[in-house]
């Protein structure tokens, strides 16, 4: 009996060591791929997903080795239907951690019966000069729009962002009509690209494709 207990204990310890080593290797792999700002990044290799945790303040996971000026960015993203609790998207033209452009979504507004909230489903910002409060005040309904047809706020949805010299167009779930079109407000001079979440929000992404031109 004692030998069996010892053998079982040895197996358990060995398993724990293997699991711990795998977690360490995965964490190191993520550290090599991403530089995070105010968030922790995790992944699920089985489903190919990247996840940023919930925390106060804006969070970004800059993708190391990726640069983008113009072209097409495609990805699947998932937030949740929690009022003021889900802001998910992507940052691009990043010069540093506070200077960039971003397109993000408020899934909790997708199917809102309030027309004002519904019109605030997809948003463009450029940090730090033109965040959403200034854009909403100075240019109402120009840099944020509804998403039609409305995605399920608790499920994955597909996003395609087309960036030309100065124009940005955002398409959702294969729709040929852009949900949001605008002229870029600034030239940040940056080329960094990363997953973006707003204050108090977590988020998940998969199937990122970048066709830089």
pLDDT digit string (tens) for 111-160?
A: 999 999 999 999 999 999 999 999 999 999 999 999 999 999 999 999 99
Q: For the chain, how many residues are written?
A: 213
pLDDT of residue 213: 86
Q: What is the mean pLDDT of residues 105-114?
A: 98
Residue 62 — pLDDT band, cuts 50, 70, 90? very high
pLDDT of residue 204: 99
pLDDT of residue 10: 66
Burial of 210 (0-12, 13-18, 19+ CB in 10 A): middle
**35-212 carries CATH number 3.30.70.330:** no
Residues 211 and 14: their CA atoms lie apart, in Å, by 44
pLDDT of residue 155: 99
Residue 25 — pLDDT band, cuts 50, 70, 90? very low
Residue tagged 């509804």 (tokens): 146
Residues 201 and 89: their CA atoms lie apart, in Å, by 11
CA atoms within 13 A on the CB side of 192: 20
Residue 108 near residue 82 (C-beta atoms within 8 A): yes
Say yes or no to pLDDT of 8 above 80.
no
- Beta pairing class for 203-212 and 71-78: antiparallel
């Amino acid at each position: 009996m004692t030998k069996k207990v010892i053998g079982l204990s040895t197996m358990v310890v060995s398993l724990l060591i293997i699991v711990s080593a795998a977690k360490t290797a995965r964490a190191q792999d993520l550290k090599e791929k991403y530089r995070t700002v105010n968030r922790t990044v995790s992944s699920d290799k089985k489903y190919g997903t990247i996840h940023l945790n919930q925390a106060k303040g804006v969070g970004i996971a800059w993708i190391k080795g990726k640069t983008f000026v113009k072209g097409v960015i495609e990805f699947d993203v998932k937030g949740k239907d929690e009022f003021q609790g889900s802001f998910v998207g992507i940052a691009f033209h990043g010069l540093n951690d506070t200077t960039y452009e971003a397109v993000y979504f408020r899934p909790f507004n997708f199917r809102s019966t309030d027309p004002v909230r519904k019109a605030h489903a997809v948003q463009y910002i450029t940090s730090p000069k033109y965040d959403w409060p200034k854009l909403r005040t100075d240019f109402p309904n120009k840099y944020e729009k509804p998403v039609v047809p409305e995605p399920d706020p608790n499920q994955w949805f597909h996003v395609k962002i087309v960036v030309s010299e100065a124009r940005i167009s955002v398409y959702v779930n294969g729709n040929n009509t852009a949900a949001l079109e605008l002229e870029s407000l600034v030239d940040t001079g940056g080329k960094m690209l990363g997953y973006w979440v707003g204050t108090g929000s977590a988020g998940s992404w998969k199937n990122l494709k970048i066709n830089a031109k």
